[in-house]
Structure 1
Amino acid sequence: MPRYSSFIRNFKIIIYIIRKAKLFGIGALMVCLSCSAVYGQSKLSGNIQLPKFEGATVREVFDVLKQKQAVLFSYNSNLLDLDKEVNIDSYQGLLTHYLERLLGEKYSFKETNSHIIITYAPQRMDVSAIDMDTTKNNRAVISGYVKDIRTNKPVSLVTVYDRTTFQASALTSKKGYFELDIKNPNNTVVIALSKEYYRDTMLMLLLPLEISHTGKEHKTGYYHTSDSSKMISNSVFGRFFTSSGQRIQNINLGGFFVYSPFQISMTPGLSTHAFFNSQVVNKFSLNIIGGYTAGVAGTELGGIFNVNQFSMHGVQFAGVSNVVGGDVKGFQAAGVGNVGLNKLSGVQVAGAWNSIDTVVWGLQVAGGINMANSATHGAQLAGGMNISRGEVGSQLAGGINIAKKVRGVQLSVINIADSSDYPIGVFNWIRKGSRQLSLGIDESSFIAASLRSGGRVMYSVLAAGIYLNDENVKYGIEAGVGAHLVRGKRFALSTELVHRTHFDKDLKYNEANRSSFRIVPAVNLGRYIQVYAAPSLTYAETVHPEPRTRALAWRFWGADRARNTFHGGGTVGVQFLLSR
């Protein structure tokens, strides 16, 4: 190390003298590396020793690497054929070189804390005509041209960024030209170049001695998703809030990001991290109007909107909307809507809507609508509607609940599900639930047709009927809830709580309503037919009040027409089983 440090120090002095003599316009040493891994790997650059493989599959080689080297791989399922047979000699050397032998030179490898990311990168690029201006105090303006090594043609839309301070970023023009304005650079500056389908390239520049440096070190990371539809750059909301240049940079850099203590932005384009803001995860982020960052690992406040390319871990508030491309862990609140493209572990609160792919655990609360593909261990609470395309814990809504499978309770006016044991509402439609159509008459000579529809345990009751001999009321409709207590081959037992609303012969509303609690035993006469006799306890309001009568009466059977009455009664009828 002392000999190496002395060499670097002497070499810098030589370059400094050359620059002053204006023999070079660069004024620095440039080292161009075509890298299979740019971001400081330990496993990729580690030594391995493997036996010879003959007729083995790629999957079997990966399994050996997993067992012997504790290496895990991540890649697009369409990228590799794991069942392809390979023949490869015994090997001792760097892991990255072995992977190139195994898969070929058209692949690129990047390392995270736990996985090695495999991407397709068949093309190579290089930098020519590098120029650097360091005349300004503590600033360096670095420019150059990027070209394709094979065709020698310029490469446009390449992301070029300062990997030392992560404060500058740019896209190359149609002619391959870029320019970076780096503030407070270190003596050694690393410029990284990334573009989809190109192998990442890195430039190492030794700057003249008068340039000072901050001495800051940055922690980097890599976010990987196998589903491209769950990325901000491919979403409707992401395209609305971001520019085309930012989306191209996201594609070029993939999931690469760097951590930073804080950032402040007026808009996504006016930020303390400048154009590189979409690749920075901040502990504290303040967006006056709106901001676009890689993510949050703490707190983010947005006057109008917050957009995170990757994950949000912590607390996030926005006046209008929050949009997160990765996972949401913590608390997220917005005046209008929250949108998450992956998983929620925490709480989403919005004035109008919440949208997430999967609720791992937690709660969605919205004034309007909650949407999720799955919420197995979570709940949805909405003023209007809840939608879960997969499983959900519980749903409570003022209007409609829709789900595939509900593990807990569905409470709404209308409940729709493929499977739900405890739906509570005016109307339930459970595909794998129970449905019965019945015809019965009670002690008040009210004959009605009823539909009972629900799940394995809870169900709703809807009925409409007519009084056979009542002068004051003619028609009635019933709504209520019930529960299956026993469901045997010969015998069934249920209990119900229903409310009846009355109308006269002109279909005008009559205030004399009644509510009943009844027990419904039924005997199966066949596979699809039951008969039942259901005793009930009813509170009935008088339909023909008389003056100077007591307000309430108790009777064993039937209502007192002149007074409000608690009374016993019953219903008999026949029931047709549409499903069980």
Structure 2
Amino acid sequence: MPKFEDAKLRVIFDELKKQESVLFSFNSNLVDLDKPINTTPFRGLMVDYLEVLLGEKYTFKETNSHIIITYAPQRLNVHTIDIDTLKNNRAKITGYVMDVQTNKPIDFVTVYDRTTFQAASLTRKNGYFELDLKNLGNTVTVALSKENYRDTMLVLLLPVNVTNPDPNRKVGYHQTLDSTKTIANSGFGRFFTSSRQRIQSMNVGGFFVYSPFQISMTPGLSTHGLFNSQVVNKFSLNIIGGYTAGVDGTEWAGVFNVNQFDMRGLQAAGVTNVVGGDVRGVQMAGAANVGLNTAKGVQIAGVWNTIDTLIAGAQIAGGANLATDAKRSLQIAGVLNKSTNEVGNQIAGGINMAKKVHGVQLGVVNIADSSDYPIGVFNWIKNGTRQFSLGFDESQFASLNFRSGGKVLYAVLGAGIYVDNKDLQYGFETGLGGFLVKKKSFSLSAELVHRIQFDKNWKYSEANRSSLRIIPAVHLTKSLQLYAAPSLTYAEAIHKVDGANGVSWKFWGADASRNTLHGGGTVGLSYVF
């Protein structure tokens, strides 16, 4: 590397990326990229150069494509380590982990087999650990990890010829940009996992290894033991529940699945699935699917689905779907759909809520900042249409209607009374309307409205009306509009005469004794707000 004078750290990192084709991963609060750096020319190991740049209180882990930078000001060491060789190609490794500076024992240090990744343990209060290993090779690499301590590895030589570890063993690293969106910091994660497993995850961090399969009864009883939270499996079977690093294939559970990192493929559980990383594929749960980061695929649950960002796909739930952002996605729920930011389309038996809707909202109540195509009984669109209208039609029905919706579609909800009708007194209207033309001084819209009717004693009349209205409106001011709307109405007979079958046609007004298709009209005044 060349000499640098008052160069920002980000400039030096960019030069390293360019020369060495390596990427850096770190918490943005940990490293100040705008810090000025002065260095002399350097030739040597990358780790030594990074210590020159950042200091000795940082530790550096290397993966296939990244160098992970973490803060580790403290050091640990292992005292009085012992290997007890057992039968059937097994061995027990024991020892004590101590702080290098204070020489005091350290508890809750993760100790694991770095060769096969088949065994892990946590140290006790006196720093003591036991590691039971099987299927031994020629060497055993024991790794020690604890938050704020530099990772330490011990290579133990067994009394056989030394060979390299299995070159086919694949390992990886999961980068977490937001620590609040992790299993250890979520309510669901704390509910389904133990404190020992969460400490294990904190110590080892985003490091994981791949395995073809795992079987567990509960998160603590797994074929991968305590290390199960750091293993990504092709196939995972959890009789009651399991806690793994992730899925790259298929996972089934009688009750619950918990993944610390990503889920890719198919995941099914009798009660719930919880994923701390990204979801790519299909999640199915009897009760709930919970994703803490992004999803691309389908979530299907009996009660609810929740995800931070639904990149593309659908959420289908009997109860509710919750997302922070679902711009190019579909939400279908029996009760509630909610997207804090954007959403593609929403269909609910109850309420739809979003900030910006790119497609259609279909529900009883639709709420959004922006939604051009809401279809419901009541809409509240912040940047849409809201108006009260007083109208009087050919049946001498005086009504007050509330129109609410988007810039294209809106809902009609109204009530009124008959001025001079011996048989009917009250009526309620619901309907759907849409703007055909919308100018500054003039607008033209069409509505399809249905009216149910009652007599003066509030007895329901089976003679209902359905009308198609064409509404031209002149804008007197920014808020007041005057309209005269011709209509085509199908009206059921109030006093149906025996033998009077079929539908009669009248140019104006209904026939009280027959079902009638007739022309009509409404005049009125609207207040827009």
Q: Which TM-score applies when normalising by structure 2?
A: 0.98
State the match for 1:338 in structure 2: 289
1:520-539 equivalent positions in 2, closer than 5 A: 520-539=471-490
User: Which digits, 9 at most, give the CA deviation of each residue in 1:339-389, with x for residues without a partner?
Assistant: 111111101101111111110100000001111111011110011110111
Compared CA separation, residues 297 and 97, structure 1 to 2 (3 A): same
Higher relative contact order (CA 8 A, sep 6+): 1
The question of whether the paired residues in 2 share the 8 Å contact of 1:263 and 1:286 is answered with yes
| Counterpart selection for 1:406 from 333, 357, 361 | 357
RMSD: 1.5
Offset at residue 426 of structure 1 (A) = 0.3
How far apart in 1 are the matches of 2:476 and 2:165? 88
| Counterpart selection for 2:132 from 155, 177, 181 | 181
The question of whether the paired residues in 2 share the 8 Å contact of 1:287 and 1:301 is answered with yes
Offset at residue 66 of structure 1 (A) = 2.6
| Counterpart selection for 1:447 from 398, 401, 408 | 398
1:231-250 equivalent positions in 2, closer than 5 A: 231-250=182-201
Offset at residue 94 of structure 1 (A) = 1.5
1:576 aligns with 2:527: yes
Could you tell me which amino acid in structure 2 is paired with residue 393 of structure 1? G
Equivalent position SS for 1:65: helix
Offset at residue 184 of structure 1 (A) = 1.0
User: Which digits, 9 at most, give the CA deviation of each residue in 1:457-497, with x for residues without a partner?
Assistant: 11111111111111111111111111112111111111111
User: Which digits, 9 at most, give the CA deviation of each residue in 1:384-405, with x for residues without a partner?
Assistant: 1101111110000000001111
The question of whether the paired residues in 1 share the 8 Å contact of 2:433 and 2:447 is answered with yes
Compared CA separation, residues 356 and 316, structure 1 to 2 (3 A): same
How far apart in 2 are the matches of 1:493 and 1:204? 81
User: Which digits, 9 at most, give the CA deviation of each residue in 1:94-125, with x for residues without a partner?
Assistant: 22211111111111222334332221111111
| Counterpart selection for 1:199 from 147, 150, 154 | 150
| Counterpart selection for 1:353 from 304, 314, 337 | 304
How far apart in 2 are the matches of 1:348 and 1:381? 10
1:224 aligns with 2:175: yes
State the match for 2:258 in structure 1: 307
User: Which digits, 9 at most, give the CA deviation of each residue in 1:385-444, with x for residues without a partner?
Assistant: 101111110000000001111111000000011111111000000111111111111111
User: Which digits, 9 at most, give the CA deviation of each residue in 1:291-327, with x for residues without a partner?
Assistant: 1111000011101111111111001111111111111
The question of whether the paired residues in 2 share the 8 Å contact of 1:437 and 1:452 is answered with yes
How far apart in 2 are the matches of 1:211 and 1:563? 100
Could you tell me which amino acid in structure 1 is paired with residue 257 of structure 2? N
The question of whether the paired residues in 2 share the 8 Å contact of 1:298 and 1:314 is answered with yes
State the match for 1:66 in structure 2: 17
The question of whether the paired residues in 1 share the 8 Å contact of 2:298 and 2:315 is answered with yes
Aligned-residue identity in percent: 65
Range moving further from structure 2, 251-260 or 554-563: 554-563
1:86 aligns with 2:37: yes
1:461 aligns with 2:382: no
Q: Which TM-score applies when normalising by structure 1?
A: 0.89
State the match for 1:498 in structure 2: 449
Offset at residue 214 of structure 1 (A) = 10
Could you tell me which amino acid in structure 2 is paired with residue 450 of structure 1? N
Compared CA separation, residues 555 and 111, structure 1 to 2 (3 A): farther
| Counterpart selection for 2:108 from 157, 170, 186 | 157
Offset at residue 210 of structure 1 (A) = 9.8
Equivalent position SS for 2:88: coil
User: Which digits, 9 at most, give the CA deviation of each residue in 1:219-263, with x for residues without a partner?
Assistant: 101111111111011111101110000000000011111000001
How far apart in 2 are the matches of 1:347 and 1:516? 40
Could you tell me which amino acid in structure 1 is paired with residue 439 of structure 2? G
- Unmatched 5+ residue regions in structure 2? none
How far apart in 1 are the matches of 2:349 and 2:14? 52
Offset at residue 136 of structure 1 (A) = 2.2
How far apart in 2 are the matches of 1:112 and 1:383? 45
How far apart in 1 are the matches of 2:435 and 2:166? 71
Count of aligned residue pairs for this structure pair: 529
